[in-house]
Amino acid sequence: MAENKFIRNQINLAKENNQNAFSYLLNTYWDDVYNFQLKRIKNESNAEDITIKSFTKAFEKINTYNDKFLFKTWLITISKNLHIDQVRKNKNHLKVFESSDFIEVKESSPSPEDDLINEQKLKSIKNKISKLKPNYKKVIELRYFNELSYKEISNKLNQPINNVKVRIMRAKRILAEIIEKS
């Protein structure tokens, strides 16, 4: 079964980095990928996280999409593989944790030195956030400094909630690259 002409056109526009095409594809296929994950994981929050990661990865790799396959099938395959990777990673992490022979004890209140270190880290992070494009900077600030929900950010920016989720995921990825380089 072939994609309809409009969908193929949106995919081609997305390959040219057209943001409206990305938004269209995200809104068209969000429920398919999310419901697929929800059936697998049976946890709304985790299903949402993997769905966001799925679209982020798909949009990063959109030029590798082969139109011999349905776009929906391609997205769900990416989503399935991300879930499998996460399960493997969690199993390995659990094995390491189980094999450790120590217990970490943390103080309940930070020392003045800890406060100073945390303040310096926050200043450093804010400096790196300022290097983001304005639309990425805005969603990071709203989500992590103003502690707004996805829905509140969606309303404030007058953007579909799915677009907000993907924009936050992209912003976090770009921010991680900036942090890694410094």
How far does CA 24 lie from the centroid of its chain?
A: 17
User: Residue 170 has what pLDDT?
Assistant: 85
**Residue 25, pLDDT score:** 92
| Per-residue pLDDT in tens (0 to 9) along the chain, 182 residues | 557 899 999 999 999 988 888 889 998 999 999 999 999 988 888 888 899 889 989 988 999 998 888 999 999 999 999 988 887 776 655 444 444 444 444 445 566 776 677 777 777 778 888 888 998 899 988 988 888 888 899 999 998 888 888 888 888 888 888 887 87
Joined tokens for residue 126: 């804010």
Q: What is the CA radius of gyration of the chain?
A: 20
How many alpha carbons lie under 13 Å from residue 6 in its C-beta half-sphere? 3
Task: Tell me what pLDDT residue 103 has.
Answer: 46
As to burial, measured by CB atoms within 10 angstroms (0-12 exposed, 13-18 middle, 19+ buried), residue 133 is: exposed
Please give the Cα distance from 2 to 65 (Å, whole number): 14
pLDDT for 91 equals 67
Q: Which residues contact residue 135 at a Cβ distance below 8 angstroms, ignoring those fewer than 6 apart?
A: 167
Q: What is the pLDDT of residue 77?
A: 94
Residue 77 carries which side chain, given as an amino acid letter? T
**CA–CA dist 89, 105 (Å, integer):** 25
Which domains, ranges and CATH numbers included, belong to the chain?
Answer: 5-99 (1.10.1740.10), 112-181 (1.10.10.10)
In this prediction, residue 99 carries a pLDDT of 47
